[in-house]
Amino acid sequence: MHTLPLEVQQEILALSTNKRSTAAKHLRVSLRIHSWMEHVLYEKVVLDGDDDTKRFLQCLSLRPPHMQFAQAHTTSLFLKGEIEPPRMLELLALCKGVTCLALDLDTDEFSKDGSALWSVLDALPLKYLMLSVNITFTDAITTSPKVFTHITHLDIHDECLLDEDHECFDTLNALTHLCVVLDRDYSKPLVVKRFVSNPRVQVLAFRVESPHSGAVEFLEEHGLLHDKIVLMPFFIAPWGSMGRGDMLLWQVAEEALKHPIPKKQGHRCVPVSTVRNAYANKYDMPKVPHSNECTAKKHNRNGVFLARTKGPM
């Protein structure tokens, strides 16, 4: 392998590196590729729980000057699970070059006062943000506007977000892609209409529970179906261990919007199988059979939904 051009070595290693442990081994292949492989290892980082986060901080501390290293190398972070808030804030304060951030946290630390978190996020050049945290999100748009200055892609996993009007979203001038939870029991039509009517939002993704029929009926009933809407699975798609898939949500949503709205469905949606197979493509894993509950038009007969068969009903 040492006789191959450096760019070929890099390509081979990139294709064969799906785990952080593998990346660590590749660091020892040769001095020529060490710095490049180190960049791959630290560029996109997924940390699950407090132990992962603690170990990552320890690794950073071994690379003096660690503050400059973290800022220069780490651009994407996915933090999930139970992470001690002080440790998480320390990490975010170090990784000041992060442009893509996903927080899927099990903590109530910020439920009453999120100022500590917003203060740290203020210092980041964020363009892509996913939040699944017990925190009052909308207040921050007013109190910490710097956080949202450059955000183009925003994903808020909060079932109650659409239960009251939020004029503050109109101030997010850079926002072009928005993903929120649509729940017909909580979402108010006028609030949904504000998002649909926002001319800057080009992609409007709604996370919905299966079956999609309830969400579709809600949108149809209130005249809210729009060409920029795509229904997404309710669950939060994880990134791979090497951070691949950090933009997967938006990639599959944009791909869905490239195609005409299916006449039988009357809406666009991304089934779970599409998301899983998108990851399979990235990791050379077996694909699952394609399945879309919405491709079979459903009709209500005596209160029971039945799949449509060939021929007249």
- How confident is the model over 210-242, as pLDDT tens digits? 888 899 999 999 999 999 999 999 988 878 766
User: What's the gap between Cα 22 and its chain centre?
Assistant: 25
Alpha carbons 26 and 17: distance in angstroms, whole number: 8
- Count the neighbouring beta carbons within 10 Å of the beta carbon of residue 220: 12
Q: What is the pTM for the complete model shown? A: 0.84
Q: Tell me, what's the pLDDT at 133? A: 94
Query: Which two tokens mark 12?
Result: 């081979």
Q: What's the gap between Cα 100 and its chain centre?
A: 9
3-state SS, 284-312, equals: CCCCCCCCCHHHCCEEEECCEEEECCCCC
CA distances from residue 71 to 97, 118, 222 in whole angstroms, order as listed: 5, 18, 47
- Whether residue 199 is contained in a domain is answered as yes
Asked if residues 204 and 228 have their Cβ atoms less than 8 Å apart, the reply is yes
Amino acid identity of residue 217, one-letter, is E
Residue 300 has pLDDT above 60, yes or no: no
Place of tokens 């996109």: 44
Examine residue 114 and state whether it is found in any structural domain, yes or no: yes
Q: Is residue 5 part of a domain?
A: no
Of 61 and 306, the structure prediction assigns the larger pLDDT to 61
204 forms bridges with which residues in the sheet?
Answer: 178, 229
The pLDDT tens digits for 106-162 are 999 998 889 999 999 999 999 999 999 998 887 777 777 788 889 999 999 998 899
The pLDDT value given to residue 126: 96
Percentage with pLDDT > 70 across the chain: 80
Three-state secondary-structure class, residue 100:
strand
Classify residue 76: in a domain, yes or no. Answer: yes
Q: Does residue 244 lie within any of the structural domains?
A: yes
Q: Are 150 and 125 in contact (CB under 8 A)?
A: yes
Indicate if the pLDDT at residue 303 is higher than 60.
no
Asked if the structure places residue 166 within a domain, the reply is: yes
First to last CA, the chain: 65
pLDDT at 299 over 90: no
Q: How far apart are CA 44 and CA 194, in angstroms?
A: 34
Low-confidence winner among 31-40, 92-101, 112-121 (lowest mean pLDDT): 31-40
Give the amino acid at 30.
Answer: S
Residue (of 56, 124, 50, 125) closest to 81 by Cα position: 50
- 282 or 259: which carries more pLDDT confidence? 259
- Total count of residues recorded for the chain: 313
Domain hosting residue 124, numbered range: 38-283
Q: What is the pLDDT of residue 117?
A: 94
Residue 311 lies in a domain: no
Contact indicator for 300, 216 with CB cutoff of 8 Å: no
**How many domains, in total, are found in the chain?**
1
* Ordered DSSP codes for 176-216: -EEEEE--TTT--HHHHHHHHH-TT--EEEEEEPSSTHHHH
Q: Answer whether the bond into residue 199 is a cis peptide, omega within 30°.
A: no
Q: Is residue 3 part of a domain?
A: no
